[in-house]
Amino acid sequence: MLKKNIDYYSSLLDKHGASPEGVGWNGQAAQEIRFSQLCHLVRLDSFSVNDLGCGTGDLANYLRANYKSVDYTGYDVIPKMIATAKARFKESNTRFKLICSGDAMQEADYTLASGIFNLKFNQTETEWREFILSSLRTMDRSSRYGFAFNALTQYSDQLMMKRDLFYADPLWLFDFCKKNFSRNVALLHDYNIYDFTILVRK
């Protein structure tokens, strides 16, 4: 799966460059809508953040434009993404690290993840759910004040669904987070695109 992931996203980056399309989104507007939903988690003007599945670092730009001071660390499994991100950002408070799993993350105030649960290739539903839950446990361990993530929703139009994408049950994930991580969990599913965002505040 890791090789497929690297090959797929490397080819997107080669084709589209450092852009939302280069990391699999269909445009900047859709990408920023998702960033804004994730950032409902943040309640500080100055904070540290882990960006799991950072791509070429677009979230770093979004955070810089909307918050006073952010100590940002981006993590990704795609070597070309990390190399491109490092070339884009030279600030001392913005770092990018290549990882093989989320277990390599350092602790930060918040951890955010956008789009990392969407593309399952030929993994079974059961295998992919376990990957999601394992990733959420890692995000929880790496976050002082909370974490947030998004996923495609099973409430998508049936005719538009694709076999290699994973459409999660938002209620099941909300329930899992509520029972395992915090009593303070929010489900955002009202922003007119076919995914949802979950915020976990500690």
197 in Cβ contact with 34 (< 8 Å): yes
Label residue 3 by pLDDT band (50, 70, 90): low
> Domain containing 40 — which CATH number?
3.40.50.150
Rounded average pLDDT over 51-60: 94
Length of the chain: 202
**Residue 36 above 90 pLDDT?**
yes
Residue 167 lies in domain: 2-201
The tokens for 49 are 């953040």
Q: Report which of 163, 82, 175 is spatially closest to residue 136, judged by C-alpha positions.
A: 175
In the prediction, which pLDDT does 6 show?
Answer: 63
**Residue 20 above 70 pLDDT?**
no
Q: Global pTM?
A: 0.90
DSSP H helices, the chain, are 2-16, 28-38, 58-66, 79-88, 125-141, 170-180
With b for 16 or more beta-carbon neighbours within 10 A and e for fewer, the 81-95 pattern comes to: bbebbbeebeeeebb
In the prediction, which pLDDT does 28 show?
Answer: 77
Query: Count of domains in the chain?
Result: 1
